[in-house]
Structure 1
Amino acid sequence: MAYQLEKYRNRDSRHTCPKCGKPKCFTYYVDEDGQPLDKSVGRCDHESECGYHYPPKDFFRDHPNREVIEARLSPNRITAKVSHRNKSIDTIPMEYVTRSRSNNSHLIRFLFSLQKDNEPVLKQVLDDYHVGVTRNGETIFWQIDKDKRVHGGKIIAYNKEDGHRIKDKGVNWVHSLLKKQGVLNEEWTLSQCLFGEHLLSSSANRDKVVAVVESEKTAIICAVQYPDCVWLATGGKSQLAIDKMKVLAYRSVVFFPDVDGYQEWLERARAFSFCRSVRVSDVLEQNVTEADRMAKIDIADLVLREWQSLRQYREDTPLARAQRMIREMTERNPALQTLIDSLGLVPVVDDG
C-alpha cells in the first residue's frame, strides 16, 4: 500500500504532534482513502524547533509484521495510487497573482532599504517571481509551475525593521482565504510545487545552473545577488521531495540547505539521478560560527550581512556616527532622551 502526506484542506487536517505536543501542526501519512497509517507516522510542521518526521518506511521497519498484513489486505493499492496521481491539480486564477503584485510588503520595503543602489535589479527580480502583498503588509510567495499554473500562494509576515519572519503569526495560504470568501469550494486541495519553478521555462534560463534553497525569501535575495543561477525554493527542509524535483530533470543543480539541513539534503539528493549533475553546497558547513548554527542561518543571512555592512558604510558620516552614539546612550539611560527633548538639543559635528 502506498502512503503520502495528507493534503492540506483546513486546520482540521493538521493534528497534535506526538513529540512536541503542539496542536494543528502534525501531518499524517495517509492512504488513497485518506486513512492514516498510524497516528505516530507523519511530519511536524515545526521543522527546526521539533523536527519530528516518522515516514512509513521507518514504521514498517520497526513493525515488520504490519507490512505483511498491509500487503495481504490490499495487493492492488500501489497500482491504483499511480493512476490517482495523474489527475488534474486544483489551481488559482492568475488574476489573483496579478492583482497582488506590489513592492509594499514589510519584507520588500526592508530589502529596498538595503539595495538603494541596486533598485532596478531588485524590482526586476520581484516582478519575475510575481511577489505579492496582502492588505496587512504580509508577503505572498506564489507557487507557479513550469506550465504557468498557479498552485497556491504562501503568506508570510515579516518584521519591517529587520526583515525577520514573525513566527508567532505562522504561515497562511491564499486558498484558505478564498475558501472563506466562497471563491473556492471546500474540496479544493493544495498541491505544492517549487517556488520560482515557472522561471525554468524561460529561454534565458535554459542553460543556467539551478540553485535550490529552503525559503522563498532566500531565493529572492540570492536571485538579486547571484543572477547567473535560477534560484528556486522548496518551502522547507523536508520539502525536498522527488515529485517536486522531477522538473529539474537534465538540469545542473546545486542545493543550498540551511545550516541545520546539510546532512539531510546530502542524503536526499542521492535520489535525483535524473538531473544532469547534482551538488550539495557545504558553504555554510565550512564558514559559520557556533552562534550561526544555534540561529540556524541560511545563505541569505550571509548576503544580508554584506548588504547591511554596505549600507552602514554609505551612511557612516560624522553626523550619522554622532546620532548612533546618542541613540546608544539614550537606550542605556532613557532620562538622557528626556533632557535632550526638553532642551531641544541637536548633535553638532566639526567637519574640520
Structure 2
Amino acid sequence: MKYKYQLDKTSKKYVCPNCNKKTFVRFVDTLTGNYLNTIDGRCDRETKCGYFKKPESNQIVIQKYDCNTKQVKPSYHTNILIKKFGCNYKNNHFVSYLLKHFAPIDVKQVIKKYFIGTSNHWAGATVFWQIDQNINIKAGKIMLYDCNTGNRIKQPHNHISWMHKKLKLNQFVLQQCLFGLHNLCDYDTSNTLCVVESEKTAIIMSIIIPSNLWLATGSKSGFKEELLKPIKNYKIIAYPDKSEFNSWNKRAEELIKKGYRIRCSNLLENLTVDNGYDLADYLMKRTA
C-alpha cells in the first residue's frame, strides 16, 4: 500500500520533537521526494519515547497487495501505549468486578499477564490488547462492563470500540490475533491451550485454572484458521459459548484434517442455560 507520504527509507535521522534525541525519521512526499515537516514522523526509540505522528491527510496513491498472500500489511501500535493505559485500575469496572470475586494478588497477576488497560473512552472502560507471538501490538479493543455483574454494557448501544479509532489513526490497518497470544513463549507444545470466545472469559479462567494458557477469539466468527495458525502445533481445547458448539465443532473437524490437534468441548451445550452462556458464567455460578 503506497500513500502520498511515507516514512523516509534512508538512514537519515533528525531530532525528535518529543525526546530531543537524534532518532527521528520524517515523512517524505512520495511524489516530490521532499520532507513533509519537522513534526510528522516516528522516533526509533519506540520503548523509551514512542513518538509517532502521522500526516493528517495521507491519501492512497497506489494500493499494492502481496502477490502471494493477497493481504495488506497490518499496522501495529507502539509499546508505549501499554504503559500509558496500564493504570487507573480503581476506575476500571472490569477490574473492580474481578476484585469482588478473586484475591487481589491473583487479579494483579492476571492484569500483568494480559496487559489489561484502562481507557477513558467511556468512564470505567477496559482495554484488551491483542499482541501476537512476536510481541507486535496488533489491536487495542475497548469495552465497558458493569462493575457489579461483570456483564458488558449493551444499552443504549453496544460499548465496543478500538484504540486506533480513539487515537484517530485513520490509516491503521487492523488485522487481529488471538487475545493472550503473546504468552505463548511461556508454553511448549506439550501444554494444552484453551480457546474461548471472550476476553473476559479467558482472563477469569486464567485465574481459576492457571495451569493452562487461555486465549480468546474475541467473537464467534473469530474461531478460524487465520487466527489459530500460530498455535497449530499445540494441543487445543475449544470451549464455545452455548449454542455455538455445532459451528465451532465443524471448523475444528476441518482443522483436524489439516493437522491441528484440536477438539471442541460440548460441556455448555448439554446444560439447560441461555444461549450465549460461557464457561466463566458456568464456573462463577458454581462457586458463588
Cα separation, 1, equivalents of 2:229 and 2:254:
11
**1:114 and 2:105 are equivalent in the alignment:** no
Cα separation, 2, equivalents of 1:263 and 1:207:
27
Residues 122/159 of structure 1: CA separation in 2 closer, same or farther (3 Å cut): same
Residues 80/127 of structure 1: CA separation in 2 closer, same or farther (3 Å cut): closer
Cα separation, 2, equivalents of 1:303 and 1:106:
20
Kept in 2, the 8 Å contact 1:107–1:139? The answer is: yes
Question: Does the residue aligned with 1:272 lie in a helix, a strand or coil?
Answer: helix
Residues 238/114 of structure 1: CA separation in 2 closer, same or farther (3 Å cut): same
Identity between Structure 1 and Structure 2 (%): 31
Map 1:193-204; keep pairs closer than 5 Å.
Answer: 193-202=177-186, 204=187
Residue among 269, 293, 308 paired with 2:274: 293
Which deviates more, 144-153 or 271-280?
271-280
Kept in 2, the 8 Å contact 1:144–1:198? The answer is: yes
Kept in 2, the 8 Å contact 1:257–1:265? The answer is: yes
Cα separation, 1, equivalents of 2:148 and 2:242:
24
Cα separation, 2, equivalents of 1:217 and 1:305:
15
Kept in 2, the 8 Å contact 1:245–1:272? The answer is: no
- Cα deviation code 1:274-295 (max 9, x no counterpart): 5552110111122x21xx224x
More helix by share: 1
- Cα deviation code 1:239-282 (max 9, x no counterpart): 11211110112100000000010000000112223555211011
Residue of structure 2 equivalent to 1:145: 132
Residues 111/205 of structure 1: CA separation in 2 closer, same or farther (3 Å cut): farther
**1:176 and 2:157 are equivalent in the alignment:** no
- Cα deviation code 1:40-88 (max 9, x no counterpart): xxxxxxxxxxxxxxxxxxxxxxxxxxxxxxxxxxxxxxx9763332x53
| CA positional deviation for 1:126 | 1.5
Residue among 57, 64, 84 paired with 1:99: 84
| CA positional deviation for 1:302 | 1.2
| CA positional deviation for 1:98 | 1.7
**Structure 2: unaligned runs, 5 residues or longer:** 1-64
Instruction: Tell me the amino acid that sits aligned with residue 161 of structure 2.
Output: N
Residue of structure 2 equivalent to 1:247: 230
Map 1:284-323; keep pairs closer than 5 Å.
Answer: 284-286=268-270, 288-289=271-272, 292-294=273-275, 296-307=276-287, 309=288
Residue of structure 1 equivalent to 2:215: 232
| CA positional deviation for 1:305 | 1.3
Which deviates more, 167-176 or 209-218?
167-176
Kept in 2, the 8 Å contact 1:141–1:155? The answer is: yes
More strand by share: 2
Cα separation, 1, equivalents of 2:73 and 2:223:
22
Residue of structure 1 equivalent to 2:262: 278
What is the TM-score of this pair, normalised by structure 2? 0.71
**Structure 1: unaligned runs, 5 residues or longer:** 1-78, 310-352
- Cα deviation code 1:68-118 (max 9, x no counterpart): xxxxxxxxxxx9763332x53201111111221133310111111111xx3
Cα separation, 2, equivalents of 1:221 and 1:232:
11
Residue among 165, 189, 192 paired with 2:152: 165
Residue of structure 1 equivalent to 2:49: none
| CA positional deviation for 1:207 | 3.2
Residues 275/83 of structure 1: CA separation in 2 closer, same or farther (3 Å cut): closer
Cα separation, 1, equivalents of 2:259 and 2:98:
33
Cα separation, 1, equivalents of 2:66 and 2:174:
21
Question: Does the residue aligned with 2:274 lie in a helix, a strand or coil?
Answer: helix
**1:134 and 2:112 are equivalent in the alignment:** no
Kept in 2, the 8 Å contact 1:199–1:205? The answer is: no
Cα separation, 2, equivalents of 1:306 and 1:133:
29
Kept in 2, the 8 Å contact 1:200–1:206? The answer is: no
* Alignment: residue pair count: 217
Structure with higher Rg: it is: 1
Cα separation, 1, equivalents of 2:174 and 2:278:
27
Cα separation, 1, equivalents of 2:66 and 2:78:
30
Question: Does the residue aligned with 1:293 lie in a helix, a strand or coil?
Answer: coil
Residues 236/81 of structure 1: CA separation in 2 closer, same or farther (3 Å cut): farther
Question: Does the residue aligned with 1:167 lie in a helix, a strand or coil?
Answer: coil
What is the TM-score of this pair, normalised by structure 1? 0.58
| CA positional deviation for 1:121 | 2.1
Instruction: Tell me the amino acid that sits aligned with residue 147 of structure 1.
Output: N
